[in-house]
């Protein structure tokens, strides 16, 4: 019989960071660090731009920031992942939130575009992970004003399904460092899993258990990048951009998270370890 009290109990990321055990909390920091390395090794980010976050409490999140020895996302370590509040302040050991500039004696600062994360988490209680990346192909497609169509089928089912259901585009290329801009961007995202930022990049989100949500958001970002590269290749031939038929679309099942996310994440994690930095995560 189901324990009703357990079923009614809030999930850890809906309450406070204290609900996560120290092991779970540190494992999530490590997952975020690996995710940043994955973004780098797959070409979704270049150099030092881009960040990933995960919700750890009703008003707090872990996010990849910048430290005094910044070397870029390919070299992200666990110390680069720190906790901040939705108000943008650094969360101290005593649990109070401070503005980052007041407490960063260690040199760590939150990313300039932290509002991307905080405003999505405010607007979407279901979201527990956010990825912001700058895939060059996505930037090019959006800058050219090309449509996001399901040009492929079985080649990349997640990409086809995302395009068929609609990939929204936020039409501005601004640096999203203010809440009002982030609110506009979150409005463009709506209830969708991804939004393209014109001439800028993309934002992808995931829900549920934060560690799983990080993997989900990363794989969604990869699907949009895959579609962007195909779109550019087809457009470059001069041929029209023609979506696959509805008849074929109905033959593209959702293969499920165990394949689309879990299996893909194992591959990406192994790839980052093999092709990426040999710098220890800790």
Catalytic residue annotation: 113
Tokens 């960040």 correspond to what residue? 51
Going by DSSP bridges, is the β-strand pair 194-197/169-170 parallel, antiparallel, or unpaired? Answer: parallel
Rounded to whole angstroms, the Cα distance separating 81 from 24 reads 14
Cβ–Cβ < 8 Å for 235, 146: yes
Rounded to whole angstroms, the Cα distance separating 142 from 136 reads 10
Strand, coil or helix: what is 66?
Answer: strand
Cβ–Cβ < 8 Å for 148, 60: no
Single out the residue of 175, 215, 169 nearest to residue 194, CA to CA.
169
Rounded to whole angstroms, the Cα distance separating 205 from 34 reads 17
């Amino acid at each position: 019989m189901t324990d009703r009290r357990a079923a009614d109990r809030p999930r850890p990321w809906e309450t406070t960071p204290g609900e996560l055990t120290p092991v779970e909390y540190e494992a999530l920091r490590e997952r975020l660090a690996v995710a940043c390395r994955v973004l780098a090794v797959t070409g979704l980010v270049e150099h030092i731009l881009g960040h990933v976050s995960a919700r750890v409490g009703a008003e707090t999140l872990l996010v990849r920031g910048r430290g005094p020895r910044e070397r870029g996302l390919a070299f992200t370590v666990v110390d680069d992942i720190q906790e901040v509040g939705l108000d943008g302040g650094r969360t101290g050991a005593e649990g109070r939130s401070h503005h980052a500039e007041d407490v960063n004696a260690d040199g760590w600062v939150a990313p300039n575009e932290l509002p991307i994360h905080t405003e999505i988490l405010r607007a979407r209680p279901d979201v527990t992970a956010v990825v912001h990346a700058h895939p060059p192909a996505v930037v090019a497609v959006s800058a050219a004003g090309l449509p996001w169509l399901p040009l492929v089928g079985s080649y990349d089912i997640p990409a086809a399904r995302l395009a068929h259901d609609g990939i929204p585009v936020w039409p501005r290329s601004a640096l999203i460092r203010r809440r009002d801009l982030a609110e506009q961007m979150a409005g463009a995202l709506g209830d969708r899993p991804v939004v393209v930022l014109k001439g800028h990049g993309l934002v992808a989100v995931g829900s549920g258990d934060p560690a799983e949500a990080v993997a989900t958001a990363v794989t969604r970002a990869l699907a949009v990048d895959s579609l962007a590269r195909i779109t550019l290749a087809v457009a470059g031939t001069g041929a029209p951009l023609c979506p696959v038929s509805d008849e074929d679309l109905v033959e593209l099942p959702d293969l499920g998270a165990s394949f689309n996310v879990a299996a893909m994440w194992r591959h990406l994690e192994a790839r980052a370890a093999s092709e990426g930095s040999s710098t220890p995560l800790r």
